[in-house]
Amino acid sequence: MSSSLFWMIIGAALWLLGLHGLLTLRQALRRIIAFNLMGSGVFLVMIALAARQQPSDPLLVALVVTGLVVAVSATALALRLAAVAHDTQEPRQ
């Protein structure tokens, strides 16, 4: 088994684990973490695909770097929305 195939399998397993968490968990924070785990699995598969060639495919690497920036921004937005939703559900004392 090549190292690229190994990392693609690990990435697919991470994606499936995140999907399971997204479908079964009820808390907002855990669902956000599960969604990020799915994204990490996709990024890992893309990097494994890029590493199959020598030199690495620069397009896939650039897409992963851009995806990481977007994922961090989306996570910050999701956490803020979850915090606002949590504050409106529970009355303050």
Does domain 1-88 match CATH 1.10.287.3510? Answer: yes
Determine the Cα–Cα distance for residues 85 and 62; give it in Å rounded to an integer: 34
Q: pTM of the full predicted structure?
A: 0.86
Residue ranges of the domains in the chain?
1-88
**Alpha-helical runs (H) found in 1-93:** 3-24, 28-50, 58-89
User: What is the band of 5 on the pLDDT scale with cuts at 50, 70, 90?
Assistant: very high
| pLDDT tops 70 at residue 91 | no
81 Cβ contact list (under 8 Å, min separation 6): none
